[in-house]
Amino acid sequence: SQQGEEDPQALSIQEGENATMNCSYKTSINNLQWYRQNSGRGLVHLILIRSNEREKHSGRLRVTLDTSKKSSSLLITASRAADTASYFCATDSLSNYKLTFGKGTLLTVNP
Amino acid sequence: KAGVTQTPRYLIKTRGQQVTLSCSPISGHRSVSWYQQTPGQGLQFLFEYFSETQRNKGNFPGRFSGRQFSNSRSEMNVSTLELGDSALYLCASSLDVISGNTIYFGEGSWLTVV
């Protein structure tokens, strides 16, 4: 079953604009990770945020986590055509030894 | 440092056959997990191994099995293939899938069942 739900399902923006994707989940989590997937390829890890953290930055990426609302957001600033991909959030919880993924957001950055 | 390596990258099998997929984790990683990705169901967890022990298994039929060797390399096997088994199979490795460790994925094995 899917734990996370990304919103929106698809997002189309122009190069240079910011892109925000949201993820909601249902049960308590230990960590939340964001991944990128280019068409037909594997998942590339972007950022991990722990349940006791509220915000993390990595380059042009900013992730927030609100455990009271069971939601997270991924912001990509100054987007580039190369950012075109599907983005997934994945959660894990103590002792179930797995990631549970949402259905992903397809981001298209137009040059 | 080499990433997660999966072989083969692409394969085509006939219904009823069986298939074995291989995964070499990042050096030093003891946890290996497998996921199935399809357009309809998205990313679904298959199983996780740590030091040769299966710690969790997803909701898949018994035709799906796996194992982990003492060098942490892992294989998964699907017997009596069905058309619906066509998918991208992804392997992931980490130091441990809990405790806040980053989980890294391979490029996947594309399986087509005809």
Q: Does residue A56 surpass a pLDDT of 50?
A: yes
| Span B56-67, average pLDDT | 96
Asked whether the beta carbons of B33 and B53 are under 8 A apart, the reply is no
At A60-76, the pLDDT tens digits run: 999 999 999 999 999 99
The reply to whether residue B42 touches residue A43, judged by beta carbons under 8 angstroms, is no
Question: Would an 8 Å CB–CB cutoff place B51 in contact with chain A?
Answer: no
Query: Higher confidence at residue A79 or residue A40?
Result: A79
First to last CA, chain A: 36
Asked whether the beta carbons of A72 and A88 are under 8 A apart, the reply is no
Asked whether the beta carbons of B14 and B114 are under 8 A apart, the reply is yes
| Span B81-108, average pLDDT | 91
Asked whether the beta carbons of B3 and B104 are under 8 A apart, the reply is yes
Question: Would an 8 Å CB–CB cutoff place B12 in contact with chain A?
Answer: no
Residue A19 CA to residue A31 CA, distance in Å, equals 22
pLDDT level of residue A85 (50, 70, 90 thresholds): very high
| Span B17-23, average pLDDT | 98
